[in-house]
Structure formats: structure tokens, C-alpha cells
Amino acid sequence: MKIDVKHVADLARLKLSEDEMRRLEKDLESILLRMERLKALDVEGVEPTFGAGDVQRLVLDQDRPAPGLPREEVLKLAPSSEGPYVSVPREGTPGDAPQGSE
């Protein structure tokens, strides 16, 4: 199945390079292939599950607090920082939407 990655990116208001679009197209095709494999599974006799009703059967572990990383170590791992903050590029600012998608 061919995916119009540019259309999907425009709907999501993403600005992607040609290389990013090629990689995303491969990723999405891989996901669709996996979905096709799931459709082919024989699930006869398997009870369907819907919504949160089955959550009651889940066994959850207790949360256990653990020490975090020191701020200095986190900032060393970040691609860039400003003072005590990790700095990331601004994305999805108002007015960045492609024409005709608002």
C-alpha cells in the first residue's frame, strides 16, 4: 500500500525533509505490513476485549521512587541547553500550518 507521506505530514503540520519523508514512508509501510499480518491471524475462539473493563484484571506493580539524574548530567546529554534548561527547537507554532489545512 502506497502512503502519501506529504499529505500525512501536512495534516500533522510537520515540516519534513525529503530524507525524513522517505524514512517515514518506509516506517509506515512496515506498520501497515504488520497490521496485514495481524489481520491474517486465526483468532477464532479468542474472546475480544473492549475498553477499560478488562483493566481490573491487570496486576500492577507498586511504584517505587528512584533517584533521578543530577541536572548537570542531564544537561550534558542534551543537544543544547540554556542555563538550567534543555533547549529544543520550536515546532508547530501558530501560523506554521500549510495553506488550506486550517
Architecture of the CATH domain 1-42: Orthogonal Bundle (1.10)
Whole-angstrom Cα Rg for the chain: 22
Domain ranges of the chain: 1-42
Long-range contacts of 23-32 (CB under 8 A, 24+ apart): 28/3, 29/1, 29/3, 32/1, 32/3
Residue 102 has what pLDDT? 46
Cα distances from 38 to residues 2, 30, 51, in angstroms, run: 19, 13, 20
Residue 96 has pLDDT above 60, yes or no: no
Residue 93 has pLDDT above 70, yes or no: no
- How confident is the model over 33-91, as pLDDT tens digits? 999 999 999 989 988 877 666 666 677 788 899 999 999 999 999 989 999 999 988 87
